[in-house]
Amino acid sequence: MTWEDRLFDVLDDLEQQAEALYDAERSLELADRARAAYAEVSLASRLMAATGTSVRLDVRGVGPVTGDLERVGTGWVLLRGPAQDWVLRTAALTAAHGLPERSVPEVAWPATARLAVGSALRRLADSGERCVLHLVDGSRHDGVLQRVGADFVEVAGAGRQLVLVATDQLAAVQSRDEG
């Protein structure tokens, strides 16, 4: 082996070492970028990816609610259960089970997903359907939704007595009775 061959072998070895170091640094950088990008993923975007699937959502003041995730909106979801439908405020969710690993960024959401929880509650009020309002503290109000204000809902309970419920204390609205 000539001195030129040995020199080229040394240079090839150095080049391979440099490539290995670059690949190792690049892998760390990509992992760092992936972590940073995932920090931008919201619960709502993960829920949006689960639309049309069966999920279990744990709700403060209610407990676990299972059903098909029908719709995701700004601050709420619609879950269709076997005996009732649920409008759940995402602020009251404590855990979600059965969601796919992917997410759907907000820019890819349909225009209807930008509707706030008030829109879903107004639709229930318009239907005149009896419902149960579950609050985050575990209390409940049975009745018919009457009107939806900026930060509250009116529910007509027994004897048509109106009760005002602050929206931020609302965990879920169950559109039909259990059982």
- CATH code for position 130: 2.30.30.600
Q: Where are the beta strands (DSSP E) in the chain?
A: 54-59, 63-73, 76-80, 85-89, 93-97, 130-135, 140-148, 152-156, 162-166, 170-174
What is the reported pLDDT for 160?
Answer: 79
Residue 20 in any domain: the answer is no
Which spans in 39-62 are helix H?
43-49
Residue 69 in any domain: the answer is yes
What is the reported pLDDT for 21?
Answer: 74
Residue 63 in any domain: the answer is yes
Provide the pairing of β-strand 130-135 with 170-174: antiparallel
Residue 18 in any domain: the answer is no
Residue 137 in any domain: the answer is yes
Using alpha carbons, list the distances in angstroms from residue 141 to 58, 116, 138. Answer: 20, 21, 10
What is the reported pLDDT for 29?
Answer: 67
Query: In terms of residue numbers, what domain contains 62?
Result: 43-174
Tokens in use for 114? 């930008």
Residue 8 in any domain: the answer is no
Count of Cβ atoms closer than 10 Å to residue 142 Cβ: 15
What is the reported pLDDT for 100?
Answer: 93
Place of tokens 């259990």: 178
Report the alpha-carbon distance of residue 83 to residue 47 in Å, rounded.
Answer: 22
What is the reported pLDDT for 38?
Answer: 67
How many domains does the chain fold into?
Answer: 1
What is the reported pLDDT for 179?
Answer: 44
Q: For the full predicted model, state whether its pTM sits above 0.85.
A: no
What is the reported pLDDT for 159?
Answer: 79
Low-confidence ranges of the chain (pLDDT < 50): 178-179
Are 43 and 55 contacting, i.e. CB atoms less than 8 angstroms apart? Answer: no
